[in-house]
Chains A and B, each alone.
Chain A
Amino acid sequence: MNGTLAAAAGSFEIPTLEYSALAPILIVLGAAVVGVLIESFVAQAMRRNAQLVVTFAALVGAFVAVVLARGTQQIVALGSVAIDGPTLFMQGSILVLAAMAALVMAERQVDPAGDSFAPRASALPGSEDEQAFTRLGWLQTEVWPLFLFSVGGMLLFPASTDLLTMFVALEVLSLPLYIMAGLARRRRLLSQEAALKYFMLGAFSSAFFLYGTALLYGFAGTVSLSGIADALTKSADNMGLVLGGLGLLSVGLLFKISAAPFHQWTPDVYQGSPTSVTGFMAACTKVAAFGALLRVMYVAFGGIRWDWRPMMYVIAALTMIVGTIFALTQTDIKRLLAYSSIAQAGFMLVGVIATNQAGLEGTMVYLLAYGVATIGAFAIVTLVRDASGEATHLSQWAGLGKRSPVVASAFALFLLAFAGIPLTSGFTAKFAVFTAGISGGAAPVVVIGVVASAVAAFFYVRVIVVMFFNEPSADSGPSVVVPSAFTTLAITVAVAITVVIGVLPQVIFNLASQAGLFVR
């Protein structure tokens, strides 16, 4: 290689890209571009079907590419993307979860007016245009390319080995989500409010991330994670820059996983967004963001973990406590699930704090278990409806177990998984991160976690009690709509995975332990 000579001569060397290793990301992003073209060139009537075919083909194709790439341990794309065990495990998880979320998003049988998205997001809520679009039965199809772009960003986020690539991935995954949050067909003001709020706070957190990157560059002279780790072993000067950079970077990442005190957008956005999008957001974003957080903390700052672990102790404890306590008073099922997801993020942080192999495996398993149950739970929320749309107030769920025992039992299973009851995925996952936490020397946080999960069991069980032990309200109230094969399949898969991880955790732990460690 005569790289320096060539550079001096001002010529340009064509970079080599490892297409097979990058295939999952490329397939999804390519399909998103195809989706945009479909919007422009395919007739209105055909668009939905075309988009669905492209979306599912892309997700399946990308998943196959992930499976084919198993065992890869290399840094590709000119040192900016790492395709290693953890990356592939998380990409696989994201793709499975995204496919399940897409099934729920594709549902058009539960809402008599069509699917769950506003026909034209540009029409003013309540305007005559809006009514006209609804009357015409137009359907929102632009959501599919947005969805794929977001998934593409999520696939790149945990794989990025330098902070700039990571930042680009962060924006690619976030921007489409901001729009998707505002697309709800019903309660549109709430939805648009959520979108704007998510956007503004998201932009705020991106600024933190970027500023942190700048400070770290100032210290290490590089934005690559392994470069920062090397610089830390060489010099202890300018620790102010490192700590400042690390702190600001963490804020950007902790915002995405909705850790307290950066969580406040979560309930509002989860409540306002179309429920199928909420499931996608809650499950897939969390996997991607935890993947990135783990990589940053383990690869770049593993050497100075004694500096950041106390900070993470505080954040994890706060997140568990805040999520649990606020969930206790919620009366809206979507807000309750939002606070529950905050508490779950706290439990997962225990695995990050552990900074050992077991912590990495445990967190990855936890992410998958949590994501599956979350998508299942939100999918069921879309089914409980009255005339004005989804019936999300807890009192409207009274007696659901009597009227629709199957749906209510599935929901109860997901709640028990969140609560960490044995023989569900949640127990396996909690056990894994908590034992990793203790052996990583984080016993106090684990004690807080165990207590918080005991308290959390209360509000999960409260919902079960409402469904099974309370009499339905006098007026006939909401009913469970029979969904099409799309949602049914998503819920069935979610139930199956939740039970399998609980009863036969072997399978998933084998996968996670084969994933090994991050490549540097």
Chain B
Amino acid sequence: MSSFSGAVTLAVDAPVAVTASGTFSLIWLLIGLPLIGAVILLVGGRRTNAFGHWLGVLASAASFVVAAVLFFAMLAQPLDGRTQRQHLFDWISVGTFKVPADLRLDQLSMTFVLLITGVGTLIHLYSVGYMSHDRDRRKFFGYLNLFVASMLLLVLADNYLLLYVGWEGVGLASYLLIGFWYFKETAAVASKKAFIVNRVGDVGLSLAVMLMFVTFGSVTFDGVLARASQASESQLTWIGLALLLAACGKSAQFPLQSWLLDAMAGPTPVSALIHAATMVTAGVYLIVRSNAIFDAAPTAQTAVIVIGAITLLMGAVIGCAKDDIKKALAGSTMSQIGYMVLAAGLGPVGYAFAIFHLVVHGFFKADMFLGAGSVMHGMNDQVNMRRYGALRTVMVATWLTFGAGYLAIMGIPPFAGFFSKDNIIEAAFSRGILVGLVTVVGAGVTAFYMSRLFVMTFHSTKRWTEDVHPHESPMIMVVPIAILALLSAIGGLVLNWNNAIVSWLEPVTGFQEPELAVSKLGMEGISLVVVLAGAALGWMLYDRRPVPEMAPAGNLLTRAARADLYGDAVNEAVFMRPGQYLTRWLVWFDNRVVDGAVNGVAATIGGLSGRARRLQTGFTRSYALSMLGGAALVAIALVLVRL
């Protein structure tokens, strides 16, 4: 704990924002370009079918170019001039309640902007090929542009209310894109589920924003974060917990993780962009952005660590048992975001590492999702890994690029994940031995399930169904994957050079060197041994031995993991059933709507006339009786207060 309390003093004061001018007056264009793209594509209708997909790519790419220009402009600024604020207009200004629509570009949001527009553009490009046979391709690109614009608003907002707008915007885009193939039953159900679970998280965010307003009288970052020390610890703890709930919803953390696995029913580029690289990391952004609150609320911080640790292990276990390649990757995403959340819960020791891991995860996970999409493209959209095998022979480029992502996520030096994950493991050990062990065990399990996935797909023996003729994907899909593979390979090394990313982020997040009992090299050695052991086990079990085409019954843990560790069962027991019982009971109590079927569609006109008949039997007296009861309720409530 001593290291922790030391961290608080080390946290830097929030840098003062400079009013954006010159090059920085372009900040609004970052959001504006993809937004214009989305509007043209969605409003323009069929007229834009012919060129719609290229317009979508162009909008995203142009936004990336602006981001790159701004990045170099920011590098040219001195440290105290790097936080830029652009005032768009006065959004709400009532009495003391002022919420300007301001954008804030600092090192943290710059990092996100580059990731979102960079990876986003690559995935746009890939989608041109992947969705080429879809009749609604234009609409798909419209939604993608909408997503990019909302996500950029989320990370560029200078206050929590505007952030909330972006937060709902990405939720909406995600909902539309998961349900994009709405004729598939799974897609329609999954999109609804994602929406509902995310609403639970949104409750957290809206409560947090309101609590901030009541506590600080402001919802701007400056108004809240710079004054965090003036609030009491219990107020900050409540705000922190509400923010954590929000993060759990958006980032699929325990106990709101269940939607992410189902969300894989959406098109694969969507899984890569939204449900791996960017949107699901919004929770991590929220926590890191609100660092001043969490630094002063140790209880909330501990809760963050616990949630991160649980999800890290849960996701890894689920990843071990899934035969659906996308769901295995989704389990892995949960697990990796668990790492980031855990790191963010460590305070200044971990914030920068959380973002570092977030960025490289964006590279390698997008790389692998797009690789999985490429495999599906060649295998008639099959996702069952038990019917893959030996694909390295026919899909060489996909195999090599996926391999880079595979080595990166396991953390084999010098691939990207090695640097970022090792940093988190070290920071975790500086917090406590248990937290550290969780991260190391997680790394071992990660190595196991990724090896399983990689072997079952690309090595082992052919288990193809008869009608497939696997082939390499077209260049427009391979090139984006190759770029991401390159980033997965060297991105970590580059970003870690001279602690580049840590010193880049330090003015925003603060930083404290983790205190280690063992030397850094020793730590790296230990985790590498664990990782290699996990990988070796994976290769032994799935490469040496034949993979059965039908999944074996498996042991208790396997079965539980296949059922998403009963996440849905828990949801049903805790939320759905009581809700249904409450509804049914109330409906029975009400005795008017006798057909209590939630989605009953049978009775149309007949039902109406039936209802009309029932209306005419004179229930007015029972309504009047209930009013009388209500009046009694009012009277009792008034008298009770007096007593």
Contact = CB atoms under 8 A, between A and B. Distances in A.
Contacts of A340: none
A505 B89 CA distance: 12
Contact of A201 (B590, B605, B620): B620
B631 A247 contact: yes
Nearest to B621: A200
A182 to B, nearest CB: 13
A190 B615 contact: yes
Q: Please report whether the interface of chain A is mostly helix, strand, loop or mixed according to DSSP.
A: helix
A201 B624 contact: yes
B627 A255 contact: yes
Contacts of B596: 329
Contact of B202 (A306, A325, A454): A454
Contacts of B582: 325
B47 to A, nearest CB: 14
B165 interface: yes
Interface string B279-308: 000000000000000000000000000000
Contact of B634 (A251, A393, A451, A510): A251
B631 A325 contact: no
Contacts of B605: 388, 393
Given A310-B637, A310-B641, A329-B598, A201 B207 contact: no
Contact of B196 (A264, A392, A434, A458): A458
A450 interface: yes
A147 B579 CA distance: 41
Interface in A261-309: 261-262, 264-265, 268, 272, 306-308
A255 B604 CA distance: 30
A446 interface: yes
Contacts of B203: 450-451, 454
B593 A329 contact: yes
B223 interface: no
A128 to B, nearest CB: 22
Given A190-B615, A261-B633, A422-B168, A308 B638 contact: yes
B210 A247 contact: no
B24 interface: no
Interface in B172-222: 172, 179, 182-183, 188, 191-192, 195-196, 199-200, 202-203, 206-207, 209-211, 213-214
B639 interface: yes
Contacts of B598: 328-329
A201 B623 contact: yes
B633 to A, nearest CB: 7
A177 B630 CA distance: 24
A80 B629 CA distance: 33
- Which among B624, B629, B630 has the highest number of chain A CB atoms within 10 Å? B630
Contacts of A465: 179, 188, 192
Interface string A413-455: 0000000011100001001001100110000001100110011
Nearest to A513: B94
Nearest to B575: A455
Contacts of B92: 428, 505-506, 509
A51 interface: no
A14 B60 CA distance: 75
Contacts of B164: 422
Interface string B206-250: 110111011000000000000000000000000000000000000
Given A190-B612, A421-B168, A446 B210 contact: yes
A307 B642 contact: yes
B548 interface: no
Contacts of B91: 504-506
Given A329-B598, A439-B214, A446-B210, A311 B94 contact: no
Interface stretch (A67-75, A161-169, A221-229, A238-246): A238-246
Nearest to A428: B92
Contacts of B202: 454
Contacts of B214: 435, 438-439
Contact of B210 (A239, A357, A434): A434
A293 B463 CA distance: 72
Contacts of B211: 438
A450 B583 contact: no
B574 interface: no
Interface in B566-619: 579, 582-583, 586-587, 590, 593, 596-598, 600-601, 603-605, 607-608, 612, 615-616
Contact of B635 (A247, A325, A439): A247
B588 to A, nearest CB: 11
A510 B92 CA distance: 9
Contacts of B517: none
Nearest to A510: B94
Contacts of A395: 601, 604
Given A190-B612, A450-B207, A264 B634 contact: no
B587 A248 contact: no
A331 B612 contact: no
A311 B634 contact: yes
B498 interface: no
Q: Please report whether the interface of chain B is mostly helix, strand, loop or mixed according to DSSP.
A: helix
Contacts of A446: 210
Nearest to B95: A513
A251 B634 CA distance: 8
Contact of B604 (A200, A396, A469): A396
B627 A244 contact: no
Contact of B641 (A265, A306, A504): A306
A193 B615 contact: yes
B165 A261 contact: no
Contacts of B550: none
Given A193-B615, A248-B631, A328-B583, A471 B623 contact: no
Contacts of B640: 310
Interface string A42-80: 000000000000000000000000000000000000000
- Which among A328, A331, A361, A454 has the highest number of chain B CB atoms within 10 Å? A331
A108 interface: no
Nearest to A208: B631
A314 B601 contact: no
Contacts of B603: 331, 393
Given A261-B629, A306-B641, A331 B624 contact: no
Nearest to B590: A326
A189 interface: yes
Contact of B630 (A261, A431, A451): A261
A331 B207 contact: no
B519 interface: no
24 contacts: A187-B612, A196-B620, A200-B620, A201-B620, A208-B631, A243-B642, A244-B635, A251-B630, A261-B629, A264-B626, A306-B641, A307-B638, A314-B633, A329-B596, A394-B601, A421-B168, A435-B214, A438-B213, A438-B214, A439-B213, A450-B206, A454-B200, A454-B203, A469-B179
Interface of B: 90-95, 97, 161, 164-165, 168-169, 172, 179, 182-183, 188, 191-192, 195-196, 199-200, 202-203, 206-207, 209-211, 213-214, 579, 582-583, 586-587, 590, 593, 596-598, 600-601, 603-605, 607-608, 612, 615-616, 620, 623-624, 626-627, 629-631, 633-635, 637-642
Ranked 3 nearest A-B pairs via Cβ = A311-B637, A261-B630, A395-B601
Given A187-B612, A450-B206, 11 more contacts: A243-B638, A247-B634, A247-B635, A251-B627, A264-B626, A393-B601, A422-B165, A435-B213, A438-B213, A438-B214, A461-B195
